[in-house]
Every structure is written in structure tokens, then in C-alpha cells.
Amino acid sequence: MESKQTNKLRYAIIGAGAGVLGMHRAALQMPSIAVVAVSDVNAEIGQQRAEEWNCPFFADHRQLLSEIKPDVAVIMTPHPYHAQIAIDCLRSGCHVLVEKPMAVHVGEADAMVEAAEDSGLLLGVVFQHRFRPEIRAARQLLQSGQIGRIQHVTMSAVWTRTARYYQSAGWRGTWKGEGGGVLMNQAPHHLDLLCHLVGKPARVFGWTRRFLHNIETEDTVEAALEWPDGALGSLHISTAEADQSEYLKIVGTYGQLEINGGQLSARGLEADIADFVATSPKAMASPASHELPITLSTDIAGNHATVYRAFNEAILNGTPFTSAGAEGIMALELANACIYSNYTHNAVDLPLDRQKYAALLVDLIDKKA
């Protein structure tokens, strides 16, 4: 698509009153972007944003799409509205960049992807952490085969939240307002990185709990994971602990890597563990190991500006966008699977049954209505 304004893509912001807008501001001020319209259900704050960008305000996003016909719509509304708004945008002829999570449940996300495919337009999810230098380096190590065949994955993240946090907005921690708790709010980036680096699991057994917070949904999740090739893993994410840590460890037959507090380290084995255990004359031993060299890129950062540059490049030049379409769905499907497993008390095979999960969510909402 060619821009309707020289050297710029014409962007519309839907949900301009969202708190997350602050993380998008620097990107939206890039020379390659012109903000041409904003929309929000809160007319007062929407008008303020329109004055800030010197552009029209629309209370109804459909009127915006009809009158302005932007090249790109950025969706920042609460995620229960993401799917329908995204589909409206795609059908109107504009590309869509949507905040995480891309929808409440994976069936909605499927409909979004289908609309993008039908229209031949780009649907991307804002997963800026994929661009972090240590994540990119870890992915390169894994894809190069230096870690070998993956055997085990451990991911843990704690983002402590207080009661005041959940009381700050009536939709927080509710089934109707979020479709989940920590899994739908704090966890999406971690779930996405897990899938981005090692692929989507094939089976999930999850437990969700409300340990501390007076909310409808979960403040903690624990899950056992299995991948198609037999690799195993564990997942732990919580807002109800005091650890404030992020940790990922990936163990393979030829080495391992760890990402701890944003720092990447990696070690390689002198021999493949499968060969070593089969041939070593010692009863209890491990292969010698060595530190693997790591090269971190300095020309790119894991922020929203990087996402926008990549998104614009994909639109204008056809370069692949890392979290487009089905790639963007993986984290949501894993979150849904953890919730479904907890409430059915069974292991869940992926792909998740869309109809059964949607029915469960309706039931959870109805019970709290």
C-alpha cells in the first residue's frame, strides 16, 4: 500500500485514552508516521488526544474508518473489544496493529486472522520483547543448533501487584472485563517469548489460583508443558509473590541457555548428552562444557518504536513481520489452554477446542453476573 501522504503512513489510534498510549508515543512521533485521526468512547479524553495530534476525533471507530480511510489502525482499547474493531478495520481496507493480548479467546483471534487473510492486509500484535537483543541472540543460538535438541524449558515471572492496582479499574481481574487475570494481563509477553523461542506446546496441564487478591480471576498460574517432539517444561507466573523476577532456562542435548533479569548466558557441551550417556565409561558423569560466545545487537531495541518500524517495513516493502497473524495467536492460545485445563482438571491438547473454551468463558462470566 502506498501512503496517501508523502513518505508517511497515515495512522489512526482507536482507544486513544488508554494508559498504554504512553508507551506508543515515541513511535507515533516518528517521521514515517502521520496520526490522522483518533477514537475513544470517552469523548473528553479523546478530544484532548485529537488536539494533541491536531487531527479529528471520532466517538465511533466505524465513522472514523469511513471518513478518514487510514492506512493503519492501532487498537489500544480493552481487549474484549479488539476482535470486532480489528475486523471492522481490516474490512474497511486498513492494516491493523493491536495491543496484547490480541483478543479474549483464541476463536476471536482466528476470526481476526481470517479477516486479514481475506483482505490481504497485515494484522500484527505488539510483542516488543521479541526485539530485545538477548531474545534475538537466544533465538539465533537455538536456530543454529548450538543447544541441540531441546529437552526441557523453565519459565518463571513475578510481577507483584497490590490490591490498589486491581481496585484502580473495575474491569481488572474480571472474567467479563479481561477474560482472565495474570494470564491475560501480565503473562502475554512471557507466553509469547516461550512460543517464539521453542514453539507452541502440544499439551498443557495448568493450575490457576487466587492466592492473595480479591478478584474473580487468577493471580497465579502454574503449568506443565509438553512439546510435539517430547520436550517438557514448566511455567510459573504470579502477581501475588514478592520475588519480582523473570527467568527462562532452555536445556538441550548440546548445551543450555539462561535469560535472567534481561541477561543472556549460554554454555555448550563438549559432547551431545545422548552420545555421552550411551558411551561414557563412568557411572555418574556429565560432559565437559564451555561458555558459548554471544553477540548482542546494538542497532535495535525491544521497544514500541522498533515494532512500528518493522510493521511499516512489512507494509511498504513486504518484509516479514515477526508477530503477524498466526504467530500472534500462540500466546493467547496457551493462556486459554491453562485456564481451560484448570477448570476441567484435565490435560489439554493443542490446538485448543475453540467452541468448548468459548462456552467455558461464557459460563465463568455468567456465574459472576
**C-alpha cell of 116?**
486479514
Residues of the chain with CATH 3.30.360.10: 130-298+330-368
For residue 200, the model assigns a pLDDT of 98
Instruction: Compute and round to an integer the Cα radius of gyration of the chain.
Output: 22
Task: Quote the CA–CA distance of 124 and 302 in Å, as a whole number.
Answer: 16
pLDDT for the residue 368: 78
Q: Which pTM was predicted?
A: 0.95
Residue 128 CA from chain centroid, whole number: 8
φ, ψ of residue 49 in degrees (nearest 5):
-65, -40
d(CA 141, CA 267): 11
Rounded Cα gap, residues 141 and 117, in angstroms: 32
Instruction: 283-290: list long-range contacts, CB under 8 Å, 24+ apart.
Output: 289/255
Cβ atoms of 123 and 328 within 8 Å: the answer is yes
Cα separations in angstroms, 317 against 74, 95, 225: 19, 14, 38
In this predicted structure, what is the pLDDT of residue 243?
Answer: 85
Q: What pLDDT is stored for residue 369 in this prediction? A: 63
Burial class (CB in 10 A: 0-12, 13-18, 19+), 358: middle
- Per the DSSP assignment, residues forming a β-bridge with 33 are 9
Which residues of the chain carry a pLDDT beneath 70? 1-7, 369
171, 178 Cβ separation under 8 angstroms: yes
Q: Where in the chain is the domain with CATH 3.40.50.720?
A: 9-129+303-324
* Exposure letters 218-246 (e unless 16+ CB within 10 A, then b): bbbbbbbbbbeeebbbebbbbbbbeeeeb
How many whole angstroms separate alpha carbon 161 and alpha carbon 145?
A: 39
Question: What CATH class has 9-129+303-324?
Answer: alpha beta
Q: What is the pLDDT of residue 300?
A: 85
Q: Cα separation of 329 and 103, whole Å?
A: 9
CA quadruple 364, 366, 367, 369: dihedral positive or negative? positive
So what's the architecture of 130-298+330-368 in CATH? Answer: 2-Layer Sandwich (3.30)
